[in-house]
Each structure stands twice: as structure tokens, then as C-alpha cells.
Structure 1
Amino acid sequence: MDQRFFATQKPAPCVFPTSRRLSSPFVQFHATDDNFTTANNLDHIRRTENLHLGNNLLLEFGYAPEQLGSDRDRFIYRGTWQDRLLYDGRRLIQHSLNLAGMWNLESGRSEDLVLQYELRSFHRQTKRRSFFARFNAIYTKNLNSNRQVLLGGETGARAFDNRFQTGDRRLLLSLEERMYTTLHLFNLVRVGWAIFLDVGRAWQPGVDDGLQDDYLANFGLGLQFASSKSNVGRIVHADLAFPLTNKSNPLVDSSQISVNIKTGL
């Protein structure tokens, strides 16, 4: 992997990223439980979904020495662990832990360390209605300046600009009441809708972002459109969100409309 950054004649808006060159052999270990089932109306609309209900572990370690073309001697590591906490047909709770980063042998410190935990919960209330909750926490250390931890419209706070908050860590809680309708437009597109609440914060200790409220919070209504003829499973999200915090900030509108394409609800 070769990451090169070049300056322009204009002043940089932040600390200029450090170029890196990594050439690394690696070993990988992957173990997964053979425990699968199928379900409908979870992350997709009226589509059969494959659910993995067991452990899934992936570990990867690499060594990038200067002798192989790297700019510094580094250890590279990556790990992912996923598991199911509960599944009884109506309720599904899953969580995952991800760790990735590098260790610079010359400076004796970590680089691009990212630790992330996520908890997802589904509660099926009827055949066409469910409650969904998602909690996500990210901690980073010594990120290169081309990488940032952001919170805004694209990262979960749907009533705010995409880069409204930055930092080296983030917390986010999203709650949704989902409806999977029987509406089938032109026999091509299935329609769903949801009422949602998002609460979260991205920050760096000791850095004042100048906001009146530390946490971003919003509520809103969303429509989802999914093709019934495609096997890709992508869904168009059209959300209308209203801020609950920092409403007096001139950068915060009274409402925000966003349209995104995602791989699920």
C-alpha cells in the first residue's frame, strides 16, 4: 500500500498528512460457526435475509520492513469479532468488535489505531413492523490527518451537516420504529418508512468545539425504496430530520432533507 500526499500552492487547511509506503507479508486466521438461519423484514423490505447466529473471528498480522520497500519498519494488525447475544425468532441482538492499526518500530508508538464496538438489536412487533436500536462507539489514536472521526448527516446525526463534529472518538445511538409496507410501486419498488431518533457526539478531550450542546440529537421521518427485481439489495433512503440540540447555531437548519443509497435499512 502506497499513500502519497502532495501539497498545493494554497495553504493547507489542517496538518498535512504523512506519506506512507507499506509492503508487507501477512498471516490471517479466520474461524466461523456453522450456524445460519433466514428471516424477513429486518434490514431489507420483504426480502429473504441470511442471518449468521454464531461467532465469527478474523485475525490478521503483517510485518512491513524497509527491506521490502516500506518507508518504516512497522507491525500491521487487524481483528474482527462478531457474535449473537440473543435470537428467538422475534428478537435478535448482535454485537461486534473491530481493531486495526500499526506499530511503528522506529518511534515506538501506535499509528492509525481504530477500535470500534457496535451493538444492534431488532424486536419484531408484527410481521410488518419492528423496533431497531443501534449503539456504536469508536476510539482512535494517532490517526494520520487524512483520516478523521466525524459525526453528521452521513455518519448518523441526520439533521446536521456531514462534518458537523470532529474528534478522535465518537458515540452514537440510533433508535428506529420501522414499517415494512405491502406497497409495491409499478411492481418494481417496495416501500418502507421509519420514525427515528439519533443521539451522538464526536470529540477530542481538551478541545473545545464551540458548540452550545456537546451532544447532537435529532428526530425525523424516513422513506425507504428497495428494488424487488435486483439481487444487490441496495435501498434508497429519503430522510427528513429535525434537530433537538444546537438549534440556535447558524450552521444548523430547522430541518434537513437527505437522500442516500445504502446496503440495508
Structure 2
Amino acid sequence: MDVTGSTALVTGASGGIGEGVARALAARGAHVVLVARRADRLEALAAELRARHGVEALAVPADLSEPGAAARVQEAVEAWGGRAVDVLVNNAGFGLTGRLAQADDPARLAAMVTVNCTALTELTARFLPGMVGRGRGAVVNVASMASFAPLPGFAVYAATKAFVLSLSQALWAETRGTGVLVTALCPTATDTGFFDVSGESAGAGVRRRSVEQVVATFLDALDADRPVVVDGRANEVVAAASRLVPRGPFLRLAGPRIADRVGAPTGR
């Protein structure tokens, strides 16, 4: 997909995969709307992208766990010279680990569901109709390798990403023939600040992909007409195998060990 002159909205753009995606899109001539909580980092990134690539960049500080946040993002875009969003990258999200029965902050779990699922769905519902009406656009929802199976110790997080995967696959089918691409991008553990929130124990012993590798897969996804794009060849094999492994035996045999490895609930 040629993004030159288009407008791309990227959530979670203040760091990690979101920042990398925003940089890549701006380098290819897209104007960018940057959404995240950290206003200072968004403003700095917006200024850099304007200076380096000659594109327009709008920083929209927003906490997507708050009621009405998605509507405020849309209002900010509409007030920005009447621009229409051509590419929506729903990247914002976070993970919490630990056994649910030991969770000491249920409200934080609810916030995770809101950001990972509710805000993603609302932003898509707000911007997808315009893309369909114009006959052009793309929605890339960042899911996870965790979306392919229930994961004890990651129960709520994995469930939110399974939601993202299922939603994206259904929307891919709904938008056939409209000129709009919808896909779920499924990275594995990536070298970002994710584990600062979920806890380092969640990623212990797992080889992490670089942001640059995930961004390259993202760019490939824009040119592919597939409902799901997995980052990394080895992960493609794992994702395919997950469909063949019966969940009952997996949960009985591996589930307790996975939960014990994660340990106590963590996150911020």
C-alpha cells in the first residue's frame, strides 16, 4: 500500500512498536497522528518527524482507558484541517501477569481490557466507515502470539489478544471488495517497555524480536491481503501448530507450570 500523502493514526506511539511504526510511515510520506499518554514524548516525536520527513504530525495525548477517550481522539483529528484517517494502527495496549485469584488490583485488569479491546474496537468503528466510503484504507490491529491459545498466568491478557485476533479476522471478511485492508499483526516478545509493565518474569528465557523486525513485518502486512500476519518465521510455525494441539491436554500438562513460572501478579 502506497501511504504517500495519506494520514495514519498510530496509538501507543510514544515508544516501542508504535513509535517505530510511526517513524516508518512518516519516512514513506504519510502524515501521522500520534496517540499515547505521554505528551512530552509525543510532541518531541512529532517535531522530529516534521523536520526529518517534511510531513505533518499531530500529537494527541490520550489515556485510552478513560471513558470518552476514543471520541476525543476523533474530534482532535477532525479539527486538524479536516483530515481523514487512511491508516489506523491500533497498537496501544499493555499486559498484566499472575494468577487471577491473586490479583490485588481488579480495576487495573479492567483498564487492560478497556485499552486492549474496548478502545481498539471503538477507534475502529469510528474510522473504518470513512475508509470504506472512500474505497481505500487499512486497519492494522496489533494482537500477539498470546492470542493463539489460553495462557494460565496471562489469562486476561491472552484473552484480550484473542479478542483482537478474532475481531480482525471477522473484519477482514466484512471488508472484502471495499478496498480496505484489515489485519491482525501478531508479534512475540519484543524488545520494548512491555515487560516494564507486565514484569520481567513474563519474558524470562524468551528470545525477543527487535522493534525494527516487527516494523518490517508491519510494512509487509500493508502489502499483504491476509487477515493475520505473524512476525518471524519460527513464530509462524508455532502459530500454525497451536491450531493442532488439543487445548485440554495442553492446559492440564503445561498450564500449571506456565502459571508458576509467571509468579505473583505484577504490573503497573
| TM-score, scaled relative to structure 1 | 0.28
Higher strand share: 1
Higher helix share: 2
Greater length-normalized contact order (CA 8 Å, ≥ 6 residues apart): 2
The structure with the larger Rg is 1
